[in-house]
Amino acid sequence: MQGGGGGVEQQPMQMVLRVKHPTSSSALGGDEEEAGEGSSRSALSVFKAKEEQIERRKMEVREKVFAHLGRVEEESKRLAFIRQELEGMADPTRKEVESIRKRIDTVNRQLKPLGKSCVKKEYKEVLEAYNEKSKEKALLVNRLIELVSESERMRMKKLEELNKTVDSLY
Protein backbone atom coordinates (compact mmCIF):
# COMPACT_ATOMS: atom_id res chain seq x y z
CA MET A 1 0.00 0.00 0.00
CA GLN A 2 2.81 2.28 0.76
CA GLY A 3 4.51 1.62 -2.58
CA GLY A 4 1.37 2.34 -4.63
CA GLY A 5 0.66 5.44 -2.63
CA GLY A 6 4.27 6.56 -2.93
CA GLY A 7 4.13 6.37 -6.73
CA VAL A 8 1.09 8.60 -6.92
CA GLU A 9 2.69 11.16 -4.62
CA GLN A 10 5.93 11.14 -6.55
CA GLN A 11 4.37 12.01 -9.94
CA PRO A 12 2.86 15.36 -8.79
CA MET A 13 6.16 16.22 -7.13
CA GLN A 14 7.97 15.77 -10.44
CA MET A 15 5.48 18.09 -12.14
CA VAL A 16 6.02 20.66 -9.44
CA LEU A 17 9.73 20.34 -9.92
CA ARG A 18 9.35 20.74 -13.67
CA VAL A 19 7.27 23.87 -13.20
CA LYS A 20 9.70 25.27 -10.67
CA HIS A 21 12.75 24.37 -12.78
CA PRO A 22 11.89 24.71 -16.47
CA THR A 23 15.53 24.07 -17.41
CA SER A 24 15.56 20.53 -16.02
CA SER A 25 16.17 18.03 -18.78
CA SER A 26 13.95 15.05 -19.04
CA ALA A 27 12.99 13.13 -22.11
CA LEU A 28 9.35 14.11 -21.95
CA GLY A 29 9.86 17.67 -20.65
CA GLY A 30 12.34 18.82 -23.37
CA ASP A 31 9.68 19.40 -26.03
CA GLU A 32 7.44 21.17 -23.54
CA GLU A 33 10.31 23.44 -22.52
CA GLU A 34 11.07 24.40 -26.11
CA ALA A 35 7.40 25.12 -26.72
CA GLY A 36 7.31 27.20 -23.54
CA GLU A 37 10.39 29.18 -24.58
CA GLY A 38 8.95 29.67 -28.07
CA SER A 39 5.68 30.96 -26.68
CA SER A 40 7.60 33.21 -24.29
CA ARG A 41 9.64 34.61 -27.16
CA SER A 42 6.49 34.97 -29.23
CA ALA A 43 4.71 36.77 -26.38
CA LEU A 44 7.76 39.01 -25.87
CA SER A 45 7.95 39.89 -29.56
CA VAL A 46 4.20 40.61 -29.63
CA PHE A 47 4.62 42.81 -26.57
CA LYS A 48 7.56 44.67 -28.17
CA ALA A 49 5.61 45.12 -31.40
CA LYS A 50 2.65 46.54 -29.48
CA GLU A 51 4.97 48.88 -27.56
CA GLU A 52 6.54 50.09 -30.82
CA GLN A 53 3.08 50.59 -32.33
CA ILE A 54 1.99 52.56 -29.27
CA GLU A 55 5.17 54.66 -29.44
CA ARG A 56 4.64 55.37 -33.18
CA ARG A 57 1.02 56.33 -32.54
CA LYS A 58 2.12 58.55 -29.66
CA MET A 59 4.58 60.33 -31.95
CA GLU A 60 1.89 60.80 -34.63
CA VAL A 61 -0.47 62.34 -32.09
CA ARG A 62 2.33 64.55 -30.72
CA GLU A 63 3.14 65.77 -34.26
CA LYS A 64 -0.53 66.54 -34.91
CA VAL A 65 -0.80 68.43 -31.62
CA PHE A 66 2.29 70.50 -32.42
CA ALA A 67 0.96 71.21 -35.90
CA HIS A 68 -2.35 72.37 -34.42
CA LEU A 69 -0.54 74.45 -31.82
CA GLY A 70 1.44 76.14 -34.58
CA ARG A 71 -1.73 76.98 -36.46
CA VAL A 72 -3.42 78.16 -33.28
CA GLU A 73 -0.47 80.44 -32.49
CA GLU A 74 -0.57 81.83 -36.03
CA GLU A 75 -4.33 82.44 -35.82
CA SER A 76 -3.88 83.98 -32.40
CA LYS A 77 -1.34 86.42 -33.81
CA ARG A 78 -3.68 87.30 -36.67
CA LEU A 79 -6.58 87.85 -34.26
CA ALA A 80 -4.39 89.99 -32.01
CA PHE A 81 -3.45 92.10 -35.03
CA ILE A 82 -7.10 92.49 -36.00
CA ARG A 83 -8.01 93.44 -32.42
CA GLN A 84 -5.20 95.98 -32.43
CA GLU A 85 -6.47 97.38 -35.72
CA LEU A 86 -9.98 97.71 -34.29
CA GLU A 87 -8.81 99.36 -31.09
CA GLY A 88 -6.48 101.70 -32.94
CA MET A 89 -8.96 102.46 -35.68
CA ALA A 90 -9.05 106.18 -35.29
CA ASP A 91 -10.81 108.57 -37.54
CA PRO A 92 -8.34 109.14 -40.42
CA THR A 93 -9.53 112.73 -40.81
CA ARG A 94 -9.67 113.42 -37.07
CA LYS A 95 -7.03 116.19 -37.12
CA GLU A 96 -8.63 118.01 -40.00
CA VAL A 97 -12.08 117.71 -38.41
CA GLU A 98 -10.74 119.12 -35.14
CA SER A 99 -9.12 122.02 -37.01
CA ILE A 100 -12.34 122.86 -38.87
CA ARG A 101 -14.39 122.65 -35.66
CA LYS A 102 -12.01 125.08 -33.99
CA ARG A 103 -12.30 127.45 -36.94
CA ILE A 104 -16.11 127.20 -36.77
CA ASP A 105 -15.99 128.04 -33.05
CA THR A 106 -13.73 131.02 -33.82
CA VAL A 107 -16.08 132.27 -36.54
CA ASN A 108 -19.05 131.85 -34.16
CA ARG A 109 -17.27 133.95 -31.53
CA GLN A 110 -16.60 136.62 -34.19
CA LEU A 111 -20.21 136.53 -35.39
CA LYS A 112 -21.77 137.21 -31.98
CA PRO A 113 -20.36 140.72 -31.54
CA LEU A 114 -21.06 141.52 -35.20
CA GLY A 115 -24.68 140.53 -34.74
CA LYS A 116 -24.98 142.87 -31.79
CA SER A 117 -23.22 145.67 -33.68
CA CYS A 118 -25.77 145.55 -36.49
CA VAL A 119 -28.09 147.66 -34.37
CA LYS A 120 -25.65 150.58 -34.39
CA LYS A 121 -24.85 153.10 -37.16
CA GLU A 122 -22.18 151.05 -38.98
CA TYR A 123 -24.93 148.80 -40.13
CA LYS A 124 -23.81 148.30 -43.73
CA GLU A 125 -20.18 147.51 -42.90
CA VAL A 126 -21.12 145.24 -40.04
CA LEU A 127 -23.73 143.49 -42.15
CA GLU A 128 -21.14 142.80 -44.84
CA ALA A 129 -18.69 141.44 -42.26
CA TYR A 130 -21.47 139.40 -40.68
CA ASN A 131 -22.52 137.93 -44.04
CA GLU A 132 -18.89 137.19 -44.91
CA LYS A 133 -18.36 135.34 -41.63
CA SER A 134 -21.68 133.50 -42.09
CA LYS A 135 -20.56 132.36 -45.54
CA GLU A 136 -17.21 131.27 -44.12
CA LYS A 137 -19.03 129.37 -41.41
CA ALA A 138 -21.32 127.70 -43.96
CA LEU A 139 -18.32 126.64 -46.07
CA LEU A 140 -16.58 125.24 -42.99
CA VAL A 141 -19.70 123.37 -41.91
CA ASN A 142 -20.06 121.89 -45.41
CA ARG A 143 -16.40 120.85 -45.40
CA LEU A 144 -16.88 119.32 -41.96
CA ILE A 145 -19.88 117.33 -43.19
CA GLU A 146 -17.86 116.10 -46.19
CA LEU A 147 -14.95 115.06 -43.94
CA VAL A 148 -17.21 113.25 -41.49
CA SER A 149 -18.96 111.42 -44.34
CA GLU A 150 -15.63 110.46 -45.90
CA SER A 151 -14.32 109.33 -42.54
CA GLU A 152 -17.38 107.17 -41.91
CA ARG A 153 -17.06 105.60 -45.34
CA MET A 154 -13.35 104.85 -44.83
CA ARG A 155 -13.93 103.36 -41.39
CA MET A 156 -16.80 101.18 -42.65
CA LYS A 157 -14.54 99.94 -45.47
CA LYS A 158 -11.80 99.11 -42.96
CA LEU A 159 -14.30 97.33 -40.70
CA GLU A 160 -15.54 95.27 -43.65
CA GLU A 161 -11.94 94.30 -44.49
CA LEU A 162 -11.30 93.29 -40.88
CA ASN A 163 -14.57 91.35 -40.82
CA LYS A 164 -13.58 89.47 -43.98
CA THR A 165 -10.20 88.69 -42.42
CA VAL A 166 -11.87 87.34 -39.30
CA ASP A 167 -14.28 85.27 -41.40
CA SER A 168 -11.39 83.85 -43.41
CA LEU A 169 -9.87 82.53 -40.20
CA TYR A 170 -12.70 80.07 -39.84
The reported pLDDT for the residue numbered 135 is 92
100, 139: one domain: yes
Q: Which domain holds residue 50?
A: 28-88
Is 9 within a domain?
no
DSSP state letter for 16: H
The reported pLDDT for the residue numbered 87 is 77
Distances (CA, A) of 133 to 52, 96, 99: 89, 20, 17
Is 65 within a domain?
yes
135, 113: one domain: yes
The reported pLDDT for the residue numbered 34 is 66
Q: Are 91 and 150 in contact (CB under 8 A)?
A: no
97, 46: one domain: no
Per-residue three-class SS string for 37-80:
HHHHHHHHHHHHHHHHHHHHHHHHHHHHHHHHHHHHHHHHHHHH
Distance, CA of 120 to CA of 118 (rounded, Å): 5
Running along the chain, 170 residues long, what does each successive block of 10 average in pLDDT? 46 43 48 68 86 90 88 88 80 79 86 69 75 90 89 87 82
The reported pLDDT for the residue numbered 9 is 45
The reported pLDDT for the residue numbered 100 is 85
Distance, CA of 61 to CA of 53 (rounded, Å): 12
